[in-house]
Chains A and B, each alone.
Chain A
Amino acid sequence: MVTVTLTVNGQEKTSDCEGRSLLSDFLRDNLNLTGTHVGCDTSQCGACVVHVDGEAVKSCTMFAWEAQGADVATIEGMAEDDGSLGTIQQAFQDHHGLQCGFCTPGMVMSAAALLKKNPDPTEYEIRDYLEGNICRCTGYQNIVHAIQAAAQTMRAAT
C-alpha cells in the first residue's frame, strides 16, 4: 500500500492504494470521481484523459503514486463556479457533440488542452489532435463543431 496525496480540482486529497493502482483507478475508486472513464487497457481510447500539472494525460498510463503532489484536473472541475457548464461543455451541448457520453469527459479534457495550446485550431488540427480519443457514437463531426465554437467563444472573451 502507498499513501498518495494530490490536489484534484483545487482540493487536496489523500488516500491509500496499492502500488499497482493506476491514476484512473485511484480517481474512480478512491476519490469517487467517476467522471473519468476507462474504455480500454492499451492506452488507446482517451476516455480517461485528465490534466496533470496542466498537461493532458491518459490517466490509465500512470500509477497513482506517480501523481504524488501533482495538481490534477478532471471533468468534475470543468464547470463554472456557479455550477453552470463551462465554455467547452456548453459548446458540446449546443452542437450535439456527445451521444452516450462515455468518451465525453476525455474529449472535453483533450479539447481544453488543445485550446490552451492553440486558441484557433483548424478542422484538420482538431481532428489530428483528437487522434488519441475514440468516440464510437458521433462520427466526430459535431465534436469538431463544438470545439470550433468553443474556440470562437473563448477568443471573443479575451
Chain B
Amino acid sequence: MPKDFGFGASSKRREDVRFLTGNGRYTDDINVYGQAYVHFLRSDVAHGTIKSINTERAAAHPAVLRIFTGADFASVGGLPCGWQVTDRFGEPMKEPAHPVLAQGKVRHVGDPIAAIVAESAAEARDAAEMIEVDIEELPAVIDMRAALDGGPLVHDDLETNLCYDWGFIEDNKDEVDAAIKKAPHVTRLDLTNNRLVPNAMEPRVAVGDYNSSNDESILYTTSQNPHVIRLLMGAFVLSIPEHKLRVVAPDVGGGFGSKIFHYAEEAFCTFAARELKRAVKWTASRSESFITDAHGRDHVTTIELALDHDGNFIAIRTSTLANMGAYLSTFSTSVPTWLHGTLMAGNYVTPLIYVNVKAVFTNTVPVDAYRGAGRPEATFQLERVIDKAARELGIDPIEIRRRNFIAKDQFPYATPVALEYDTGDYHATMDKLEEIADLKGFDNRLAQSKSKGKLRGLGLNCYIEACGLAPSNLVGQLGARAGLYESATLRVNATGSVTVMTGSHSHGQGHETTFPQVVSEMLGIAEDQINLQHGDTANTPMGMGTYGSRSIAVGGSAILRATEKIIAKAKKIAAHLMEASADDVEFSDGTFRVAGTDKEVAWADVCLAAYVPHNYPLTELEPGLEETAFYDPANFTYPAGAYACEVEVDPETGKVDICSFAAADDFGRIVNPMVVDGQVHGGIAQGIGQAMLESAIYDEDGQLLSGSYMDYAMPRADDLPSMVVDHSCQTPCTHNPLGVKGCGEAGAIGSPPAIVNAVIDALSRGGYSHVDHIDMPLSPHRVWEAIQT
C-alpha cells in the first residue's frame, strides 16, 4: 500500500497552490517603495580596450539618477572564485580579477561597461543609448586550442590563457601510460561536450535596498543559495559585514546551477542602493541572460580505454580542454576537476585511471556548473568509449558493462580516482532497465522500423554520480573556499505546530512538501502542521544552499538531526509530566508513553508545557522547544543507474526521432516518489536537449550566434518522448542518516550517452558502421553528413 503521508508518500506539493493561482512571489514581483531601475550598458565586442566613456548627454536625461562606470568600482572588490585548484606542478591556478564593471578592458560580449540608474527601466534603457563608448577592438580568442597556442591573451597580466593544468592522480600517470602502451586493445575517442546555456525560465533579477535607519542592506535575488551570496558579496566584494546584510531569494523560477553563482548585477544593485539611498532593481531580459548567465559544459576531450581481449577494463586515460570563459565564475574551477576527474571510474572496476584537464580562458561568457556539472562530461566520454570498445571487440554493450561492473559484494569500493562508493547494485539496475525498456521486444521494433525505411538503434549507458556535497574538511583540502554542511532549525510552537528553517533553497524541487514529510514521519504529526521557511538569511540558519543534488541528503539530514534533538528534549518534558524517568519514555505517532504502563501524554501537551512551564523541571531544563543542527556529511552519496534509448533515423534526411527512453535509477530511500519522478523527467529532458538540440555557438569574433530562443533550440513538448522511469532498486546510502541519495541531476547526467549510443547503433545496423561518433547536438545535418562520409 502506498503511504499517504510521511516518508515515502507521494504527497501533493503544497507550494503548487500559490504557483497555480498566480500568487508565487518571484524576485521580479517584488517592488520596493521608491525603487529606481538600472540598465547595464554591455560590450558588444568580445575583446577590446575602453578608450573613453562619455556619459554627459545620458546624465542630462531628466529621469537619470546616476551613471556608474568602472571608475566607481576601482576600489570595490572583484567577484571571487570559490574554489582554488592546484595544478600538476603544485602551483595555484591563475586567478584574474573579475570586476563588477569593466576596468579598462572588455573581455566578452555582455561584459558590463556602465550602469545607468533611472526612474524607470525604459528611461534607463533610453539613456544608455546616449552614452558614447569608444572601444578599440582587439582580436578575440574563442577556440580553446588557439587560446593555448599563442592566441590573443584574455588577461594580459597573466601572460597565458591557461588557468591550470591539472593531473589526477598525478602520481599514477606513468603507471597508466605504461599500462596503455602494453594493453592488448586500446579504444580511443575524440569528442566534444557541447556548450549549453542553462536557461532557467525565470531570468535573473536583483533588487538592492538600503535601510538608512539601521544601516542594513537588503538584496532580493534569484539565487539558489542566499547565504553563500551574502558571504561572498559581503566579505569579498562590498565589505559589508553579515549582520548588516540580508539576502532574500524568494520563489525562484528554476536554477539548474546558473543561480548558484555570485553575479556582478547583485553586487551592483546592493552597492548602488547604498550610494543613492534608494532601492535599485534590475531585471534581465532573456537576451541579456544569454550573454551574462554562466554557461555550462564546453569540454573537448580525448579518452583512451585499454582492455584485455575479453573486454575487461585495464586503464583509462583522458585529456580535456575545459573552457572557463573570460573570468572565473564562482565554482567554475571545481567543475572540470573534482566534479569530473573523480567520476571517471563510473560503475566499473578499472584499476588504473589518469585524468588531465587544462582549463582555458577565452573571450566568452564564463562557464560554470550546469545541472550535473562535470559528471555529465565524465559519463559521456566514458559511456561513449565503452560502446565503441564493445563494437570493436564484438561484445554486446550490456555484456561488456556487466563484465566490468563493481559487484554488489565489493562495496564499499575505493576507486582509483579518490572516491569511496558506499552502496550500489549495478546488475540490479541493469536488470530493471532490461525489463522496463522491454529490450526483449527490440527485434520486433527493429523490423517495424525497417519496413518503414527507418534505421532503428538501441543505446544504453550507466552512470554514477557523486552528490550531496560533501565533507567540509575534505573539500577544504581540495581547494573549496567554503564549508559544505547544511543547517536546520526546528521551532516547535506552543500549540504543537512546527516551523522548519533550512539553509537549503527550493527553486522547483518541492522542499516545502518533502522536508515536512521527513519531520512528519519522525514526530507523527500531520504534514500540514509543519511549515518550511527558506530563502531568507534573516530567518534561516547559515546554510550552503541547493545544488549538486544535496538538499535531501545534506539538508534533509540536518532536519533529521534537529528533529532528534527536539524529540530528546520533549521526552524529558514528557517524563516530568508523567513522573517517570526519561529513559523509560517512548515516542511514536505523536504520543509519549512510559514503557510497560498505560501512562501517556500527547505531543501537543508536551509542547504547551514547554512554553507554559508551570509544571516543568525548570532547574534542569530550559523552557521552549527549539533546536538547531548543522550537518556535515560523512561522504558524498552515489546514486547510479542504467538508461536506455531507442531512436529511429531517417537515412534520407538524417533526422533522428527518439522513440522511447527508459531510466532505472537507484536513489537509495525515497521521500516522495512523485517528486523524484519529476526530477528525473526534467533531467532527462535537459539531457535530450543537449544531445539533440542545444548548442551555444560563438563565431570567431566572439558573437554568440545562438543568443535567443529563435536560434538556441530549447526542448519543447513535441521534441520529447514519453519517458519510463523507475526507482525501485534501492540500496540505502550509508553516508547519511536518511539513507537517501540525490536525484536532481541524474537524468541530465545519464541521458546524453544513451542517445548518441542509440544513433551510432542505428547507423551501424543500417550499414553505416564507419560512423563511430557524432558530436552533440545530433542535428539532422550532422547525422546526414556522417552518413555521407
Report Cα–Cα, A52/B8, bound state, in Å.
Answer: 43
Report Cα–Cα, A144/B24, bound state, in Å.
Answer: 22
> B478 an interface residue at 8 Å Cβ cutoff?
no
Residue of A with least CB distance to B284: A41
- Report which of B16, B21, B202, B723 forms a contact with A35, defined as CB distance below 8 A: B21
- Cross-chain contact B286 with A139 (CB below 8 angstroms): no
- Report which of A45, A92, A93, A140 forms a contact with B201, defined as CB distance below 8 A: A45
- Give the residues from 63 to 112 in chain B that come closer than 8 angstroms, CB to CB, to chain A: none
- Cross-chain contact A101 with B15 (CB below 8 angstroms): yes
Report Cα–Cα, A36/B24, bound state, in Å.
Answer: 10
Report Cα–Cα, A18/B28, bound state, in Å.
Answer: 20
> B720 an interface residue at 8 Å Cβ cutoff?
yes
> A133 an interface residue at 8 Å Cβ cutoff?
yes
> A47 an interface residue at 8 Å Cβ cutoff?
yes
- Cross-chain contact A42 with B253 (CB below 8 angstroms): no
Report Cα–Cα, A128/B747, bound state, in Å.
Answer: 24
> A72 an interface residue at 8 Å Cβ cutoff?
no
> B26 an interface residue at 8 Å Cβ cutoff?
yes
What mask results when residues 96 to 111 of chain A are scored 1 for a CB within 8 Å of chain B, else 0?
1011111111001000
Contacts A41-B285, A44-B709, A99-B510; A104 near B19 (Cβ below 8 A):
yes
- Report which of B21, B25, B201, B747 forms a contact with A100, defined as CB distance below 8 A: B201
What mask results when residues 43 to 56 of chain A are scored 1 for a CB within 8 Å of chain B, else 0?
01101000000000
> B483 an interface residue at 8 Å Cβ cutoff?
no
- Report which of A33, A100, A123 forms a contact with B254, defined as CB distance below 8 A: A100
- Cross-chain contact B203 with A99 (CB below 8 angstroms): no
> B675 an interface residue at 8 Å Cβ cutoff?
yes
Chain A residues with Cβ under 8 A from B21's Cβ?
A: 35, 75-76, 78-79, 85, 89
- Cross-chain contact A101 with B684 (CB below 8 angstroms): no
> B638 an interface residue at 8 Å Cβ cutoff?
no
> Which segment, of B160-168, B565-573, B710-718, B761-769, faces chain A?
B710-718
Chain B residues with Cβ under 8 A from A136's Cβ?
A: 199-201, 254, 256, 682, 686, 714
> A61 an interface residue at 8 Å Cβ cutoff?
no
- Cross-chain contact A93 with B20 (CB below 8 angstroms): yes
> B122 an interface residue at 8 Å Cβ cutoff?
yes
Chain A residues with Cβ under 8 A from B252's Cβ?
A: 100
- Cross-chain contact A40 with B286 (CB below 8 angstroms): yes
Chain B residues with Cβ under 8 A from A99's Cβ?
A: 254, 508-510, 678, 682
- Cross-chain contact A94 with B286 (CB below 8 angstroms): no
- Cross-chain contact A137 with B13 (CB below 8 angstroms): no
- Report which of A40, A105, A134 forms a contact with B22, defined as CB distance below 8 A: A105
> B29 an interface residue at 8 Å Cβ cutoff?
yes
Q: How far is the CB of B196 from chain A (nearest CB, A)?
A: 12
- Report which of A20, A40, A74, A137 forms a contact with B508, defined as CB distance below 8 A: A137
> A81 an interface residue at 8 Å Cβ cutoff?
no
> A122 an interface residue at 8 Å Cβ cutoff?
no
> A138 an interface residue at 8 Å Cβ cutoff?
yes
Report Cα–Cα, A79/B714, bound state, in Å.
Answer: 30
Residue of B with least CB distance to A20: B122
Contacts A39-B202, A135-B201, A141-B723; A101 near B708 (Cβ below 8 A):
no
Contacts A99-B254, A136-B686; A141 near B22 (Cβ below 8 A):
no
Number of A-B pairs whose CB atoms are under 8 Å? 178
> B677 an interface residue at 8 Å Cβ cutoff?
yes
- Report which of A36, A40, A130, A137 forms a contact with B717, defined as CB distance below 8 A: A130
Q: How far is the CB of B708 from chain A (nearest CB, A)?
A: 5
Chain A residues with Cβ under 8 A from B716's Cβ?
A: 130-131, 133-134, 140
- Cross-chain contact B708 with A139 (CB below 8 angstroms): no
Residue of B with least CB distance to A44: B709
Report Cα–Cα, A100/B200, bound state, in Å.
Answer: 9
Contacts A85-B21, A93-B12; A42 near B710 (Cβ below 8 A):
yes
- Report which of B507, B717, B723 forms a contact with A126, defined as CB distance below 8 A: B717
> B789 an interface residue at 8 Å Cβ cutoff?
no
- Cross-chain contact A131 with B709 (CB below 8 angstroms): no
Contacts A94-B12, A100-B254, A139-B685; A34 near B20 (Cβ below 8 A):
no
**Residue among B25, B200, B709, B717 with the highest chain A CB neighbour number at 10 A:** B717
Residue of A with least CB distance to B725: A141
> A151 an interface residue at 8 Å Cβ cutoff?
no
> B251 an interface residue at 8 Å Cβ cutoff?
yes
Chain A residues with Cβ under 8 A from B18's Cβ?
A: 101
Q: How far is the CB of A143 from chain B (nearest CB, A)?
A: 7
Contacts A41-B285, A136-B714, A137-B254; A100 near B508 (Cβ below 8 A):
yes
Chain B residues with Cβ under 8 A from A58's Cβ?
A: none
Q: How far is the CB of B472 from chain A (nearest CB, A)?
A: 29
- Cross-chain contact B24 with A101 (CB below 8 angstroms): yes
- Cross-chain contact A143 with B717 (CB below 8 angstroms): yes
Chain B residues with Cβ under 8 A from A18's Cβ?
A: 122
- Cross-chain contact A137 with B682 (CB below 8 angstroms): yes
- Cross-chain contact A131 with B202 (CB below 8 angstroms): no
> A7 an interface residue at 8 Å Cβ cutoff?
no
Chain B residues with Cβ under 8 A from A103's Cβ?
A: 201
Q: How far is the CB of B675 from chain A (nearest CB, A)?
A: 7
Report Cα–Cα, A142/B674, bound state, in Å.
Answer: 10
Q: How far is the CB of B717 from chain A (nearest CB, A)?
A: 4
Report Cα–Cα, A91/B481, bound state, in Å.
Answer: 45
- Cross-chain contact B678 with A42 (CB below 8 angstroms): no
> B410 an interface residue at 8 Å Cβ cutoff?
no
Q: How far is the CB of B37 from chain A (nearest CB, A)?
A: 11
- Report which of B20, B25, B253, B678 forms a contact with A142, defined as CB distance below 8 A: B678
Chain B residues with Cβ under 8 A from A20's Cβ?
A: 122
Report Cα–Cα, A80/B715, bound state, in Å.
Answer: 33
Contacts A93-B17, A140-B720; A45 near B286 (Cβ below 8 A):
yes
> B788 an interface residue at 8 Å Cβ cutoff?
no
- Cross-chain contact A100 with B202 (CB below 8 angstroms): yes
- Give the residues from 713 to 763 in chain B that come closer than 8 angstroms, CB to CB, to chain A: 714-718, 720, 722-723, 747
Report Cα–Cα, A42/B29, bound state, in Å.
Answer: 21
- Cross-chain contact B684 with A45 (CB below 8 angstroms): no
Q: How far is the CB of A53 from chain B (nearest CB, A)?
A: 20
Chain A residues with Cβ under 8 A from B203's Cβ?
A: 38-39
- Cross-chain contact A39 with B20 (CB below 8 angstroms): no
Q: How far is the CB of B705 from chain A (nearest CB, A)?
A: 15
> B23 an interface residue at 8 Å Cβ cutoff?
yes
Residue of B with least CB distance to A75: B22
- Cross-chain contact A92 with B16 (CB below 8 angstroms): yes
Report Cα–Cα, A124/B202, bound state, in Å.
Answer: 27
Chain A residues with Cβ under 8 A from B285's Cβ?
A: 41
> B539 an interface residue at 8 Å Cβ cutoff?
no
- Report which of A28, A79, A96, A100 forms a contact with B674, defined as CB distance below 8 A: A96
- Cross-chain contact A85 with B22 (CB below 8 angstroms): no
- Cross-chain contact B20 with A102 (CB below 8 angstroms): no
Q: How far is the CB of A112 from chain B (nearest CB, A)?
A: 12
What mask results when residues 68 to 86 of chain A are scored 1 for a CB within 8 Å of chain B, else 0?
0000001110110000010
- Give the residues from 193 to 226 in chain B that come closer than 8 angstroms, CB to CB, to chain A: 199-203
Report Cα–Cα, A91/B156, bound state, in Å.
Answer: 57
- Cross-chain contact A33 with B22 (CB below 8 angstroms): yes
- Cross-chain contact B20 with A140 (CB below 8 angstroms): no
Q: Which 7 A-B pairs have the closest CB atoms?
A: A35-B22, A101-B19, A102-B253, A139-B685, A100-B508, A44-B709, A99-B508
Query: Can you name 8 extra interface pairs (CB under 8 A) apart from A98-B19, A100-B252, A102-B253?
Result: A76-B21, A96-B678, A99-B509, A101-B251, A123-B722, A130-B716, A139-B684, A141-B722
A-B CB contact pairs (8 Å), 17 listed: A20-B122, A34-B26, A40-B708, A42-B287, A76-B21, A76-B23, A78-B22, A89-B20, A94-B12, A100-B19, A101-B24, A133-B716, A137-B682, A138-B678, A138-B685, A139-B715, A142-B681
Interface residues in chain B, defined as those with a beta carbon under 8 Å from any beta carbon in chain A: 12-13, 15-26, 28-29, 122, 199-203, 251-254, 256, 285-287, 507-510, 674-675, 677-678, 681-686, 708-710, 714-718, 720, 722-723, 747
